[in-house]
Amino acid sequence: MTKTPYEPFNPDSLGDINFLDRRVQNCPYHAYQKLRDEAPVWQDPLTGFYVISRFEDLRGALLDPAKFGNSMQGGQNGRDRLNAERAQRMRTLYEEKGWLPAPTLAGRDDPNHKQMRAMFNEAFRPKKINAMDPFVRDTAYKLIDKFVDTGRCDWVKEFAVPLPLIVIGAQVGVPEDDIWQIKAWTDAWVQRLGMMQTEEEERWSVEMEIEAQHYFQPIFERLRNEPDDSLLSDMVNRVIPEWDRPLNDNELHAEMMADTFVGGSETTTNAIAYGVKLLIENPEVWTQLKSDPEQYLRTFCEEVLRLEGPVQGLFRIAVEDIEIQGTTIPAGSMINVRYAAANRDEREFECPEQIDLEREKPGRHLAFGSGIHHCLGAPLARRELYWSFRALVDRIESLDFIEGANTFEQAPSFSLRALQELHIEFSPIAVENRIDPAKLSTKSKEETPNG
């Protein structure tokens, strides 16, 4: 088995921790341990953000939106606060060439958040997820069957990227042939979210998003005139009762990029990629999983989310002065709720660094957040993970990294964790021994949410 080519970054002091440092991003877990042990509420000297890293503290923050708000003051998010003048130049570019995105669902507080979320709750209710399950299953097997007999692939490009994009594209009525163009737009959006771009690079990201806006705008206008039964038609036309109107163009463009395509594909892609990396690094887990996928597969999906959370952390605003672990966070401060640090907290999880397919309450992690902002797409993401790994188990006997082909470098980002490629080789199961996916039950057995 190939080892990762870089040395894990182990900070000697808190001063060595910098989440904009590629060494930390490639392996942040020693830094998280140091923060949990020595500074569970830590003010990052570079950004000024307060970082919360222990499970109970972080979960308490997520469950208390009255103190930990989501509405960015003055329209500013974490990136904007690092350079307000540059942020204004980006807003001007949107206004001149496209549509300035309104606050997304994740950037709103109640009652405004509750009113908008009700629209999306309808789209992701259990009955609809169950109805989508056969399509998710069939898409997973169709993708893996394209390359399984070659004995090797780039798992990210050939499976992890297209699966959730095809699924969410079908939900909103986007042609499958357009998914790679949409991927280019979401990549640009995600790079900007990562807060590590030069101003020239950020301008490119904004212009890519504006290009996406001009792709979707005619679709919005068509659906206003000719509604259909797609999720996108519902987004375009549904009147939000408390607002007495549907979403406007600025709101629709924000939701299309942030909550629909990025939220509905990017994070799932990253979890699917990391799941395979973890299976290769832990061959005993692969053996156990193959021995009884019905028993172990759902827990494996939860362990992937816990150990390699695609969203490392997001932001909240201190609505008032808040004291946690003896540290006072002043009102108005930006707070980085570091989900991935909390998900390896030994105060909450026994042997947190290990995959445990017998773990009790495997869904008790914060990969999807918690409280009123718990990810509404979590049920669909879980089904996508389930069928991805089920197709892998059903089609492949053994697997490994291709020697010398992987760097395991992360895409640079303050907030997300994403493998850029994953080259693997494998022994496919003989054709005559392969399971027909049509004979597999698609009845969802959803894990209990985090609560």
SS3 string of 251-311? HHHHHHHHHHHHHHHHHHHHHHHHHHHHHHHCHHHHHHHHHCHHHHHHHHHHHHHHHCCCE
Check if the beta carbon of residue 101 is closer than 8 Å to that of residue 250: yes
Task: Give the least confident one: 86-100, 116-130, 405-419.
Answer: 116-130
Which residue, 165, 421, 389, is CA-closest to 289? 389
C-alpha triplet 201, 203, 207: angle, nearest 5°: 120
Please say if the pLDDT value at position 119 is more than 80: no
Choose between 303 and 233: higher pLDDT: 303
Residue 94, C-beta contacts closer than 8 angstroms, at least 6 positions apart: 100, 101, 206, 209, 210
Rounded CA-CA distance 366/380 in Å is 16
The DSSP bridge pattern shows strands 50-52 and 334-337 to be parallel
Give the torsion sign (CA, 330, 315, 277, 407): negative
Question: What radius of gyration, in Å, describes the C-alpha atoms of the chain?
Answer: 21
Tell me the average pLDDT across 194-223: 95
Distances (CA, A) of 271 to 74, 160, 221, 368, 385: 33, 8, 34, 12, 8
pLDDT for position 79: 65
Rounded CA-CA distance 31/116 in Å is 37
Rounded CA-CA distance 91/74 in Å is 13
Average pLDDT, rounded, for the chain: 91
Environment class of residue 163 by beta-carbon count within 10 Å: exposed (0-12), middle (13-18) or buried (19+)? buried
pLDDT for position 377: 87
Strand, coil or helix: 410: strand
Check if the beta carbon of residue 351 is closer than 8 Å to that of residue 372: no
pLDDT for position 224: 96
Tell me the average pLDDT across 13-25: 94
Distances (CA, A) of 445 to 299, 357, 383, 448: 12, 17, 9, 9
Tell me the average pLDDT across 225-243: 88
Residues paired with 410 in a beta bridge: 419
For residue range 248-269, what is the model confidence (pLDDT) as tens digits? 999 999 989 888 899 889 899 9
Model confidence band, residue 444 (pLDDT cutoffs 50, 70, 90): low
For residue range 50-83, what is the model confidence (pLDDT) as tens digits? 999 999 999 999 999 999 998 754 444 566 677 8
Rounded CA-CA distance 212/185 in Å is 6
pLDDT for position 123: 67
Model confidence band, residue 171 (pLDDT cutoffs 50, 70, 90): confident
Task: Give the least confident one: 2-11, 52-61, 437-446.
Answer: 2-11
pLDDT for position 128: 80
Rounded CA-CA distance 417/312 in Å is 6
Tell me the average pLDDT across 140-149: 98
Which residue, 138, 144, 126, 190, is CA-closest to 167? 138
Rounded CA-CA distance 219/222 in Å is 5
Which residue, 279, 240, 267, is CA-closest to 367? 267
Tell me the average pLDDT across 24-41: 97
Tell me the average pLDDT across 218-235: 91
Domain 14-439 class? mainly alpha
Q: How far is CA 237 from the centre of its chain?
A: 27
